[in-house]
Copies of this chain bind each other. A is one copy, B any other.
Amino acid sequence: MIGRLNHVAIAVPDLEAAADLYRNALGAQVGAPQDEPDHGVRVIFIELPNTKIELLNPLGADSPIQGFLDKNPAGGIHHICYEVEDILAARDKLKASGARVLGSGEPKIGAHGKPVLFLHPKDFNGALVELEEV
């Protein structure tokens, strides 16, 4: 069911400093910052040859990653995103297996303009899993 790893998201306390680290120390291809007000995040994508790293920083007062940064002030790996062909079919299969979908259970439009869902980390070995329809 799951396909490619679309991205690994890392929450960072300072987006520009993190971008500099990836650009200069790690020599990676770093995109421009993008505000995602609907998701409460400002993001920069690092383009690797086979997938992406998404650097996440809070945007606005109710950012869903503020709590993570409060607990992990230096930042940390926040979630992994797997691609699926049919997000509603994937959701229904996962729910039937006992996995919990976060929020309303209905897909939202994610950072790439595609429908996304998040799955409960307690059902996935402590890893927050995003599914993105491609």
B48 touches A13 (CB 8 A): no
User: What's the interface size class on A, roughly?
Assistant: 35 or more
A59 at the interface (CB under 8 A from B): no
Chain B min CB distance to A23 (Å) = 10
B126 touches A76 (CB 8 A): yes
**Contact pick for A126, options B49, B74, B124, B125, CB 8 Å:** B74
Chain A's interface: helix, strand, loop or mixed, by majority?
loop
B48 touches A125 (CB 8 A): no
**Contact pick for A93, options B10, B25, B53, B82, CB 8 Å:** B25
Interface string of A1-19 (1 = CB under 8 A from B): 1111100101111000010
A74 to B125 alpha-carbon distance, docked (Å): 5
Please name the residue on chain B nearest to A12 by beta carbon. Answer: B125
A24 to B1 alpha-carbon distance, docked (Å): 9
Interface centre among A21, A50, A53, A77 (most CB of B within 10 A): A77
A-B contact pairs, 7 of them (CB 8 A): A1-B26, A2-B27, A5-B5, A5-B53, A53-B80, A72-B126, A77-B80
